[in-house]
Structure 1
């Protein structure tokens, strides 16, 4: 009985307290190399040969060098807002999928955006006061990240 109670407690705490991440295609940033956003002119697709897990989130990298850079400082490279569209988090307080090639590095942090059907939310972000939206996204994400709705 004690063992069952412990397992149930672990399941409940994981369900209610684990941070939500956008894991489309099974990986954060749709499997793109999160380090490459910072080190290349454009993001690179990750390779299954170079992968790791951080906070129970799977990540792929384009090279062993980028994998090692991530391992040295994972928080530096993780996308903000759990890898969801930062604009949607800031303006509508909701999770929205992203286009991994629509991004901005602001204040050393990676922000990803929705970009489909003539709706580029990076453009909206840049036009509507990104500093203010950045603060609103951070504030909204504090509560939204643990909300499973």
Structure 2
């Protein structure tokens, strides 16, 4: 056993890329226990009601490996027709963290609509920084997203 421990330590030193890295592994942020995207909040309501509003179990749809909830059938129909518009950008990951090269799940209570798209943030301070200058953050987040997304499990 000691030999294998020593061997693992040597390999980790020689090839740091072999060491385990902590990361989120979903392309769309979902609750690992319920399978709900954005904790069951209605993604369309951010646009129609300008509020973070809980969806209802009777208005669900499974799409993109997640279960999405809506307040009513109209919101569900709008999302089903245009998930690229109503779904949170970057799969619900915080764009300010993407700029730093980290995938951190956004909190559906910290959100901004910029350029007719929904963005979620892990912290209130991140949301406020983004809201002050969305273009600056989006340029760098969009540049980093393909590489980070590639490392997420489908």
Q: TM-score range by the shorter chain?
A: 0.7 to 0.9
Match of 1:143 in 2: 147
Deviations 1:14-60 (A, max 9, x none): xxxx9711112522222110000110021211111111122222211
Alpha-carbon contact 2:28-2:65 (below 8 Å) kept? no
Distance across 2 between alignment mates of 1:41 and 1:50: 19
Task: Indicate the RMSD between aligned Cα atoms, in angstroms.
Answer: 2.0
Moved over 2 A (4+): none
Aligned to 1:104: 112
Q: Indicate conservation of the 8 Å contact 1:45/1:62, yes or no.
A: yes
**Structure 1: gaps (5+ residues):** 1-17
- Of the three residues 102, 116, 122, the one matched with 1:114 is 122
- Retained in 1: the 8 A contact 2:42–2:70? yes
Task: Select 1:78's aligned residue among 84, 87, 91.
Answer: 87
Structure having the higher Rg: 2
Secondary structure at the aligned position of 2:80 is classed as: helix
Instruction: Give structure 2 stretches of 5+ with no counterpart.
Output: 1-24
Q: Is 2:29 aligned against 1:22?
A: yes
Residue equivalent to 2:103: 95
Deviations 1:120-146 (A, max 9, x none): 21012234x320211211121111112
Which whole-Å CA distance do the structure 2 matches of 1:62 and 1:42 have between them?
12
* Structure 2 residue 73 is the aligned partner of structure 1 residue 64: yes
